[in-house]
A and B are shown apart, each in its own frame.
Chain A
Amino acid sequence: MQVHADRRLDTVGLYCPVPIIRTSETVSRMSPGEVLEVLSDDRVILIDMPAWCRSMGHGYLGARQEGGELHLYVRKQERPVSTPAVAGKD
């Protein structure tokens, strides 16, 4: 997959949850719509990153492997998530 990234974050050698903490810090300084590329060699990030994106409302664009490194792509949400899944049902 080919994705244009506006920023890149190298977390190779770090284990969860540090890559997610660093991703969160970096995304908080980005503009909505911008894409972050995260480099990691922790394969469990392929589960955690999509979960974090779903939780925070960011777009998870996918991942590709290059040698021993994973490249994951996150698009910062356009608008903050304000309504949780089941809130307001009653």
Chain B
Amino acid sequence: MTIQAPPGRRIKAVGLISGGLDSTLAARLLLELGIDVVGLHYSTGFCMNDHRRAMARPDEEPRRMRNEGLRAGADLGIPVEILDAGEEYLKMVLNPKHGYGKRANPCIDCRLFMIHGAAEYMREHGGDFVFTGEVLGQRPMSQHMQALRTIERECGIEGYLVRPLSARHLPPTRPEELGWIDRDRLLGISGRSRKEQLDLSARWGIADFPQPSGGCCFLADENFAKRFHDMKEHTALERIRREEMILLKIGRHFRLSQEIKIIVARDEAENRFLSRFERPGWRFEAVDCGSPITLADGEPDTDMRRLIASITARYSDRRAEPLVEVAARNGDREERIVVPPVTDQSLAAWRI
């Protein structure tokens, strides 16, 4: 079937490209149908790959940390723009209209946020419809039929949101009705099996993609989610900034009281990161030995500072010694605290 494009130009689709297999295949399918494709790759601040990059050891293989959206764009020969989701995304994450999945994942609101962005991009730069690599029934929260319909209804471009991989399970969109896309050549993939996607990738020679089903979002991570919900419980939402989210990804976290939480670095890379992190408040470090940096949230009093010092001592190279000297600093103020390292038994009760 010939595409009935508006006279004088080709049809242009704007799509969300994570760089995973599904979005890559969706883009490739539209290219096969003779449609121009522009990809948008959102940087949300919750991507595990970006974090791995910030924490990378010098010997870490760089290809493992590349941006998959850019890689997909280069391989497909389509422009891919990287968009910073910014503070608006954080506001949505803190208060999602459709709630969270099993962890801290607001998948439906996240999709809506990105599709709204793609629609805005389309209005600004031109484009005829938006597409995603969503597959019916693949993900429990955001890709069952009701969720796909909710997203369609609330995305602001009803009728112009195309899911090429599962289109034949869904009502025809306007681009299909207008003859811009041949519905018969769209796909009817559904479910969690990746067999059809892997067959397609083999047929189209797409070999270089991240492992299917590999989670890459901190919001869907169990440990991150515990820290995230702890923070929401103990902090006024309007005070939470992106910097706090960065810190949730780093170190061991202990909630010592309603007001006091500490973060203890786990290794050299986290120490380096925390030492560069400009943030007011108390910092602790055992003296003259290998020691984690410990950051404290809140205003710890003398007893609390002793407790934090003893936790820092527990993770220092002198943890086997009866007493460890720990430096506590807050701006120009510095004190030395000599404490026994805390026992692991006590730690368990505070761990987030």
Asked if residues B66 and A86 are in contact (CB atoms below 8 Å), the reply is no
Asked if residues A17 and B50 are in contact (CB atoms below 8 Å), the reply is yes
Q: Is the interface of A mostly helix, strand, loop or mixed?
A: loop
B84 within 8 A of A: yes
CA distance A46 to B61 in the complex (A): 12
Residues of the B chain whose Cβ atoms lie less than 8 Å from the Cβ of A48: 66-67, 70
Known: A17-B50, A24-B82, A55-B70. A85 touches B31 (CB 8 A): yes
Of A17, A56, A89, the residue contacting B43 (CB under 8 A) is: A17
Known: A46-B62, A51-B71. A15 touches B34 (CB 8 A): no
CB distance from B271 to the nearest CB of A (A): 17
B187 within 8 A of A: no
Contact with B along A50-89 (1 / 0, CB 8 A): 1110111100000000000000000000000111111111
Q: Is the interface of B mostly helix, strand, loop or mixed?
A: mixed
B32 within 8 A of A: yes
CA distance A21 to B85 in the complex (A): 12
Known: A57-B79, A84-B76. A44 touches B31 (CB 8 A): no
CB distance from B19 to the nearest CB of A (A): 10
Asked if residues B36 and A87 are in contact (CB atoms below 8 Å), the reply is yes
Contact with A along B49-84 (1 / 0, CB 8 A): 010011010000011011100110110111111111
Of B31, B41, B53, B63, the residue contacting A87 (CB under 8 A) is: B31
CA distance A56 to B79 in the complex (A): 5
A7 within 8 A of B: no
Asked if residues B66 and A43 are in contact (CB atoms below 8 Å), the reply is no
B33 within 8 A of A: yes
Asked if residues A20 and B82 are in contact (CB atoms below 8 Å), the reply is yes
CB distance from A89 to the nearest CB of B (A): 7
Known: A21-B82, A46-B62, A55-B73. A16 touches B35 (CB 8 A): no
A42 within 8 A of B: yes
A48, A84, A86: residue with the most chain B Cβ atoms closer than 10 Å? A84
Residues of the A chain whose Cβ atoms lie less than 8 Å from the Cβ of B67: 16-17, 20, 48, 51
Residues of the A chain whose Cβ atoms lie less than 8 Å from the Cβ of B32: 86, 89-90
CB distance from B73 to the nearest CB of A (A): 3
CB distance from B138 to the nearest CB of A (A): 25
CA distance A22 to B78 in the complex (A): 20
Q: Which residue of B lies closest to A89 (CB)?
A: B32
Asked if residues B66 and A44 are in contact (CB atoms below 8 Å), the reply is yes
CB distance from A40 to the nearest CB of B (A): 12
Q: Please, could you name 7 A-B residue pairs with CB atoms under 8 Å apart, sorted by A? A: A17-B43, A44-B65, A48-B66, A51-B73, A57-B79, A86-B76, A87-B35
